[in-house]
């Protein structure tokens, strides 16, 4: 018997759209899925560009009206890869139309939008319709192993969390303006774009939520040249002579206290020259420590404090064995995975949850929890005070 189809529509086809398309193309070819993802329709505003993207990325059809797209009978799931200012409207409409939803992070631009999305997801779940937010780095095998080790108690009581997300793609003050530097579209800058990832990773790996923060946001370059042409996959375009204000942060730094008592230090910046995509997280516990850096993404460092001092030290675990999370579907041991594989694992987990009638994670509630931390960080920076995150 043939595997039933899951008809997927995707709205947006730039950087994240390309990554998600790669995932939908490969998920059913490496993993044994109960539903076969069918790349049915690609949504975009410009007919010519959307048609070209659909041909390049492997989508069967195009639709230039997302409102029509979410009601189509040949669509079961809507994958949202658009700027943050459109997430709430598209996701809520899709859920109300009975479509499963995968929405890129951060979930929304404001707490109010995220609350509305979480409420819509709860209502849709009563009818068996599922919603998931795309914190893809959870699906890196080394990160999944870190979560497993913490859950098993291998590092004991968590005491310290240090998390950084370091990039440098706008360190040049002449780098042109993009939607990611516009608060109306992006919500925030480094904080929401990349800081959201390390907030989610810290809460996910530890199994604990951030309770309060003390923060500072910084914008180093106050205005930038206007892009002279449409941006490519990385959001970088040529510049014109006209300059416009940057309305988001370039860097975010904050202290945190977790509800379980752990202390946290967080930094997210797009001005760390020489760092391209360094996602670093170290967790120190009463019985040991874990450390991860995405720039060496197939390795997890583990310290077992119970070992004798003479031989104790951080151990480099090559997370490429068949028994490691997700790895068994790919290559022989020692043949590492890359950036794109996390998106495939995301699609696999979502398809399995839909087929099993279970709630995929991270949920829209998880996205809302991150959104509340983002809002508290902004408020703390504005007021120069500690800010509590509501439960």
Q: Over the stretch 276-335, which tens digit does the pLDDT of each residue have?
A: 999 999 999 999 999 999 999 999 999 999 999 999 999 999 999 999 999 999 999 999
Q: What is the CATH number of the domain that holds 352?
A: 3.30.360.10
Residues 99, 161: one domain? no
Helix (H, G, I), strand (E, B) or coil at 263: strand
Residues 249 and 344 in one domain: yes
**233/148 same-domain check:** yes
pLDDT band at 227 (very low <50, low <70, confident <90, very high): confident
391 is a domain residue: no
227 and 198 in a single domain? The answer is: yes
Domain contains 388: no
58: domain CATH number? 3.40.50.720
One domain for residues 318 and 183: yes
In this structure, are 219 and 254 located in the same domain? yes
What token pair was written down for 280? 């670093």
* pLDDT tens digits, 108-151: 999 999 999 999 999 999 999 999 999 999 999 999 999 999 99
Tell me the pLDDT of the chain averaged across its residues: 96
- Are residues 199 and 339 part of one domain? yes
Within-domain flag for 216: yes
Instruction: State how many domains the chain has.
Output: 2
pLDDT tens digit sequence for 143-178: 999 999 999 999 999 999 999 999 999 999 999 999
Closest CA to 283 of 151, 387, 173: 151
Whether 173 is in a domain gets the answer yes
State the SS3 of 193-237: HHHHHHHHHHHHHHCCCEEEEEEEEECCCCEEEEECCCCCCCCCC
Last residue of a domain, one of 87, 118, 137: 137
Whether 147 and 165 map to the same domain: the answer is yes
Domain membership of residue 88 (yes or no) is yes
Domain span at 337: 139-360+369-383
Please enumerate, as own/partner, the contacts of 225-230 that have beta carbons within 8 Å and a separation of 24 or more: 225/174, 225/176, 225/177, 226/176, 226/177, 227/176, 227/177, 227/178, 228/176, 230/49
């Amino acid at each position: 018997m043939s595997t039933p189809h899951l008809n997927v529509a995707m709205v947006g086809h730039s950087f994240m759209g390309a990554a998600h398309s790669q995932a939908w193309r490969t998920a059913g070819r490496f993993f044994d899925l109960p539903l076969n993802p069918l790349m049915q329709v690609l949504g975009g505003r410009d007919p010519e560009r959307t048609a070209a993207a659909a041909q390049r990325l492997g989508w069967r059809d195009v639709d230039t009206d997302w409102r029509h797209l979410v009601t189509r009978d040949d669509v079961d799931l809507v994958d949202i890869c658009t700027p943050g200012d459109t997430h709430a409207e598209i996701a809520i409409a899709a859920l109300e139309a009975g479509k499963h939803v995968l929405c890129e992070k951060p979930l929304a631009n404001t707490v109010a939008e995220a609350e509305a999305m979480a409420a819509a997801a709860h209502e849709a779940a009563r009818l068996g319709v599922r919603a998931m937010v795309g914190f893809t780095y959870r699906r890196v095998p080394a990160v999944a192993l870190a979560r497993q080790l913490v859950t098993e108690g291998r590092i004991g009581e968590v005491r310290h969390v240090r998390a950084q997300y370091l990039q440098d793609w706008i360190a040049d003050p002449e780098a042109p303006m993009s939607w990611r530097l516009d608060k109306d579209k992006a919500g925030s800058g480094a904080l929401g774009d990349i800081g959201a990832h390390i907030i989610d990773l810290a809460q996910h790996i530890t199994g604990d939520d951030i309770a309060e923060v003390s923060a500072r946001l910084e914008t180093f370059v106050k205005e930038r040249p206007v892009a002279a042409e449409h941006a490519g996959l990385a959001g970088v375009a040529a510049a014109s002579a006209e300059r416009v204000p940057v309305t988001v942060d370039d860097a975010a730094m904050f202290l945190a206290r977790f509800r379980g008592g752990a202390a946290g230090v967080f930094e997210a910046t797009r001005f760390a020259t020489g760092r391209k995509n360094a996602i670093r997280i170290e967790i120190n516990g009463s019985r040991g420590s874990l450390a991860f850096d995405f720039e060496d993404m197939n390795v997890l460092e583990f310290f077992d404090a119970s070992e004798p001092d003479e031989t104790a030290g951080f151990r480099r675990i090559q997370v490429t064995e068949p028994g490691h999370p997700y790895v068994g579907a790919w290559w022989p041991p020692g043949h590492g995975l890359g950036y794109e594989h996390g998106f495939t694992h995301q699609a696999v987990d979502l398809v399995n949850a839909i087929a099993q009638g279970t709630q995929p994670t991270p949920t829209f509630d998880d996205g809302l929890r991150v959104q509340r931390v983002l809002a508290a960080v902004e408020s703390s920076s504005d007021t120069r005070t500690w800010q509590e995150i509501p439960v």
